[in-house]
A and B are shown apart, each in its own frame.
Chain A
Amino acid sequence: MIAVVVPPSADPRDRLAGSIPKLRAFAISLARDSSRADDLVQETILKAWSNIEKFDPATNLDAWLFTILRNTFYSSLRKTRREVQDSDGAHAATLSVKPAHDGRLAMQEFQKAFDALSPEHREVLILVGASGFSCEEAAGMMGVAIGTVKSRASRARKRLAELLHLEDGEDMFSGTDGATQAVVLRSAAAGF
């Protein structure tokens, strides 16, 4: 008894609609601007539609679409890079946020710190940290080695922790309240 995985006649184009929410979430995390993100998604759909024969149905459609979207994003970024593109520079540094008093990161503060990261750092964190792709899949999408994905993700997390003052001297766990300790303990427990 073998479970049928893919309906034999499935046109991958029929599956595009189902991928749009994920694609859009990825686009927003890269572009940080929803109208620009929507333009990116639209462009990606158009490219995917007209190049659908290049998609291998045995592979992950989301990964294929994400690849088109990020390539589109970076090629337009290259054209406009003379605009403020300071990545980890001075502008980003001024955006550093204070930790929330209760230790739990306020969403807005986290978002602000995340937005201050370079696009490359945002990308790797979303791919491997949030959207559940493996490092191998992310490497395929980003066109780099797996080791590069891992080291970039690690640097990105470190940078984010710096922006959030979770590292470097300040002890986020001192003088915390019960709720924070619960989060900390839970997190620590998950690590073992």
Chain B
Amino acid sequence: MTKDKDEDATRRQAIREQIDENLKRVYTATLNEELPDRFRDLLAQLKGKEGSGTGGSA
């Protein structure tokens, strides 16, 4: 009885570990993708506005 329960818990734990391991793989794969240039351009643009512009913050 107890043994079955233990085995069940172990099995569930193993499934959980396996799922989380795969989640991390999926997430890390995306994390390592090369970033589109648009973000660097966007930040540069925002920074430029901030530096030269006097307006904006009301």
Give residues in A with beta carbon < 8 Å to B. Answer: 13, 16-17, 20-22, 24-25, 28-29, 38, 41-42, 45-46, 49, 105, 107, 110-111, 114, 125-126, 129-131, 157, 160-161, 164, 166-167, 172-173, 183-184, 186-188, 190-191
Question: CB-CB < 8 A to B47: which residues of A?
Answer: 13
Closest to A22 in B: B31
Decide yes or no whether B42 CB sits under 8 A from chain A.
yes
- Asked if B14 and A42 make an inter-chain contact with CB atoms under 8 angstroms apart, the answer reads no
How extensive is the interface on chain B, given as a class?
20 to 34
A45 contacts B18, C-beta separation under 8 Å: no
B18 and A166 contacting across the interface, CB-CB below 8 Å: yes
The number of inter-chain residue pairs (CB within 8 angstroms) is 96
**Within 8 Å CB of B18, what residues of A?**
105, 166, 183, 187
A24 to B13, CA, bound (A): 30
Task: Select the residue from B17, B18, B33, B43 with max chain A CB neighbours within 10 A.
Answer: B18
User: 6 smallest A-B Cβ distances: which pairs?
Assistant: A187-B17, A130-B27, A191-B13, A25-B30, A130-B23, A187-B14
Whether B23 pairs with A24 at a CB distance below 8 angstroms is no
* Contact (A130, B13) CB under 8 Å given A17-B40, A22-B31, A183-B18: no
Cβ–Cβ < 8 Å partners of B17 in chain A: 186-188, 190-191
CA distance A49 to B49 in the complex (A): 11
Least distance between A24 CB and chain B CB atoms (Å): 7
Question: How many Å from the CB of B11 to the closest CB on chain A?
Answer: 7
Q: Which residues of B are found within 8 Å of A24, using beta-carbon distances?
A: 30, 33, 35, 39
Task: Check A114–B14 contact: CB distance below 8 A.
Answer: no
